[in-house]
């Protein structure tokens, strides 16, 4: 069996409020969109602050909060879509920066919105197979750096990181069954086109919108509305559960309007559905662990709680699982 033994998160010091975008996008428009997406504040990384910087802060916070000795870590998984470099893997850099053992293996996951659930599935399989005993799973992104100055996405996305220790003991049992899926035919619906090797040799105009993240909001919304209800049903079926057996549903915090739509389509009651966007925005792969930690701190999640987690988005990809606290 595999468990979450520790869970923490870190947010950059700089905070951007909705009103900060009035001059760029217009007050009336900003207020309208902010109300729809449910975000009032976002944490923004500084110019020279990278995803590994955020991940290190999250890990160090977790070590201190739970009195974890770093010597026990024997594997690192790092999930990000904004790595420090195309090569080498930022996971290797984190092993060094966190002063972990040279016998500690590392793996990078190139996923966003579904990445936390995918990472848990991978980490728990390592622990169950005996390949590692204490897996440090880190998520971090600096999405603000790939948004244009006038992008409405600045109203939604924030930067952040989370640290999770998966072990053979802990306070939260990770269910052994996961539902994982992908549909790469929709890859262009959420993309940073001028970011890898496909256009590496192309002559680039600094004002080219392909230098910034593009999101086809309508297609992503339709994908979510189509994919998440079957994802919920399939996950419940794997455990022989009904919706009534689950105490709390914690989904990727995409935006308030999308989450409420999915909740209604899935037939989940408001009191069992957690939304945690107001002060953080969409922090991609870190939204679920941030929401879990906040729900624990608020005692919404208590010992004995069964929690369904579900991630969905860029890829296109999706994943679901059950946690038992």
Alpha-carbon gap, residue 19 to 31, rounded angstroms: 8
Domain map (residue ranges) of the chain: 3-170, 176-324
pLDDT digits (tens, 9 = 90+) for 28-73: 989 998 999 999 999 999 999 999 999 999 999 999 999 999 999 9
pLDDT mean over 234-255: 96
More confident residue, 205 or 68: 68
Q: Tell which residue, 282, 255, 315, 325, has the closest CA to residue 118.
A: 315
Cβ pair 117, 310 in contact under 8 A: yes
For the stretch 140-154, pLDDT in tens is 999 999 998 888 899
Number of Cβ atoms within 10 Å of the Cβ of 139: 32
* CA gap 141, 139 in Å, rounded: 7
pLDDT at 131: 95
Give the pLDDT of residue 208.
Answer: 86
Decide if 3-170 and 176-324 have a common fold: yes
What is the rounded average pLDDT of the residues 91-107?
A: 97
Q: How confident is the model at residue 201 (pLDDT cuts 50, 70, 90)?
A: confident
Any idea what DSSP says for residue 124?
A: H
**CA 131/CA 68 separation, integer angstroms:** 20
pLDDT tier at 202, thresholds 50, 70, 90? confident
- Band (pLDDT 50/70/90 cuts) for residue 194 is confident
Per-residue model confidence as pLDDT tens digits over 131-181: 999 999 999 999 999 998 888 899 999 999 999 999 999 999 999 999 999
The residues carrying an active-site annotation are 113, 252, 282
CA angle, corner 123, sides to 8 and 67, nearest 5? Answer: 35
For 3-170, CATH number?
3.40.47.10
**Which of the four pLDDT bands, split at 50, 70 and 90, describes residue 81?**
very high
**Polymer length in residues for the chain:** 325
Note if the bond before 306 is cis, omega within 30 degrees.
no
Strands 160-167 and 3-10: antiparallel
Q: What pLDDT was estimated at residue 267?
A: 95
The mean pLDDT of 87-98, rounded to a whole number, is 97
Q: Which residues of 20-45 are buried (b: 16+ CB within 10 A; e: fewer)?
A: ebeeebeeeebeebbeebbbbbbbbb
**What CATH number does domain 176-324 carry, 3.40.190.10, 3.40.47.10, 3.30.70.260, 3.40.1440.10?**
3.40.47.10
pLDDT tier at 112, thresholds 50, 70, 90: very high
pTM (predicted TM-score):
0.95
Mean per-residue pLDDT of the chain: 95
């Amino acid at each position: 069996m595999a468990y979450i033994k520790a869970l923490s998160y870190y947010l950059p010091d700089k905070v951007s409020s909705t009103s900060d975008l009035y001059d760029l996008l217009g007050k009336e428009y900003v207020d309208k969109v902010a109300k729809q997406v449910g975000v009032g504040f976002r944490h923004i990384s500084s110019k020279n602050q990278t995803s590994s910087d955020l991940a290190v802060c999250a890990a160090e916070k977790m070590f201190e909060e739970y009195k974890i000795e770093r010597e026990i870590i024997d594997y690192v998984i790092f999930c990000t879509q904004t790595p420090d470099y195309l090569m080498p893997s930022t996971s290797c850099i984190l092993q060094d920066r966190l002063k972990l053992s040279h016998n500690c293996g590392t793996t990078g996951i190139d996923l966003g919105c579904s990445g936390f659930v995918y990472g848990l599935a991978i980490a728990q399989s390592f622990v169950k197979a005996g390949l590692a005993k204490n897996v440090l799973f880190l998520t971090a992104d600096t999405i603000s750096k790939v948004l244009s100055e006038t992008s409405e996405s600045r109203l939604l996305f924030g930067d952040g990181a989370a640290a999770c220790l998966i072990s053979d003991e802990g306070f939260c049992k990770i269910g052994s069954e996961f539902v994982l899926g992908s549909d790469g035919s929709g890859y262009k619906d959420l993309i940073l086109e001028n970011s890898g090797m496909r256009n590496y040799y192309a002559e680039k105009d600094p004002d080219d919108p392909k230098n910034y993240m593009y999101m086809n909001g309508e297609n992503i919304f339709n994908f979510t509305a189509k994919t998440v209800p079957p994802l919920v049903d399939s996950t419940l079926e794997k455990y022989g559960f009904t919706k009534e057996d689950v105490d709390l549903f914690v989904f990727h915090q995409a935006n308030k309007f999308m989450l409420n739509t999915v909740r209604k389509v899935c037939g989940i009651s408001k009191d069992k559905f957690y939304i945690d966007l107001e002060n953080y925005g969409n922090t991609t792969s870190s939204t679920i662990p941030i929401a879990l930690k906040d729900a624990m701190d608020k005692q919404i999640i208590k010992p004995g709680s069964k929690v369904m987690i579900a991630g969905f988005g860029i890829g296109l990809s999706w994943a679901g699982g059950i946690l038992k606290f």
